[in-house]
Amino acid sequence: MMPSLPQGYRALVIGASGAIGSALLQQLQHDPRCALALGVSRQSSPGLDLLNEASIAACAQALMAQGPFHLVLDATGALMVNGRGPEKRLDELDAAHLLAALQLNAVGPGLLLKHFVPLLAPGQRVIWGKLSARVGSIEDNRKGGWYGYRAAKAALNMLLQTTTIEVARRRPLAVVAALQPGTVQSALSQPFVGGDAMRPEEAAQRLLTVLDALQPTGRALFVDHQGQSIPW
């Protein structure tokens, strides 16, 4: 499944209770080349709260003995925030809602990078994959709307790009990728998509295949579930 990683590789899925996260974890747990596939979420033990840096740091510390990890997948994120969907018009902007979207979709994942990147295996090929969204592309924004979610994903992408530059200095074989998973059947997407959305299992398989084919460049990569590059 991930032949580019060493035999007996260790994998970690953050946000493993969501539709895509749980599907990714199941795929990895069935890979005979994967020696260890762990999933963490708010409900796991150890668990983490994306809005609480102390819990993120404690979770990373608790997992250190089970590392180092060759593959880390961050499947956290939310389109609906506090029961409210993305803004469609400028006059719907609300400071509290914007900050909440940024906290969940950019600040929290940024803190995951801070505390979990040190758990990546040194001197070997390693992959950090983060679920992002095409709507985070500034160049590809032709429809407008979804202000807070777009802004949060664009901020996330910048955090990933800047992290990659730093990580590559010590781990030149590291791949960091922002991933557009496609339209997937999940609680997150259900209010916004029709019945033609992909099953989470199909999305997970596609994303792992794409990640396995990516090569380190010293820069973050922004790709969709078919391996096609997305403009930043």
Q: Would the pLDDT of 69 be above 80?
A: yes
Average pLDDT, integer, range 24-33: 97
Range of the domain at 93: 9-224
Q: Is residue 231 part of a domain?
A: no
- Cα 113 to the chain's mean position, in Å? 10
pLDDT at residue 22, as a whole number = 96
Average pLDDT, integer, range 218-225: 97
171, 146 contact by CB (below 8 A): no
Q: Is residue 229 part of a domain?
A: no
Query: Which has more confidence, 32 or 84?
Result: 32
Q: Is residue 1 part of a domain?
A: no
What's the pLDDT band for 160 if we cut at 50, 70, 90? Answer: very high
Q: Minimal CA–CA distance to 69: which of 115, 132, 20?
A: 115
Q: Is residue 232 part of a domain?
A: no
What's the pLDDT band for 81 if we cut at 50, 70, 90? Answer: confident
Q: Is residue 161 part of a domain?
A: yes
Place of tokens 């900050």: 99
pLDDT at residue 184, as a whole number = 84
Reported pTM: 0.94
pLDDT tens-digit readout, 91-116: 999 999 999 999 999 999 999 999 99
CATH of the domain at 73: 3.40.50.720
Q: Is residue 177 part of a domain?
A: yes
Number of domains present in the structure of the chain: 1
Q: Is residue 127 part of a domain?
A: yes
Q: Is residue 4 part of a domain?
A: no
pLDDT at residue 15, as a whole number = 96
Query: Which has more confidence, 208 or 183?
Result: 208
- What six digits make up the tokens of 154? 């664009």
Q: Give bridge partners of residue 126 from the DSSP assignment.
A: 174
What are the CA-CA distances from residue 159 to residues 133, 175, 220 (Å)? 14, 14, 10
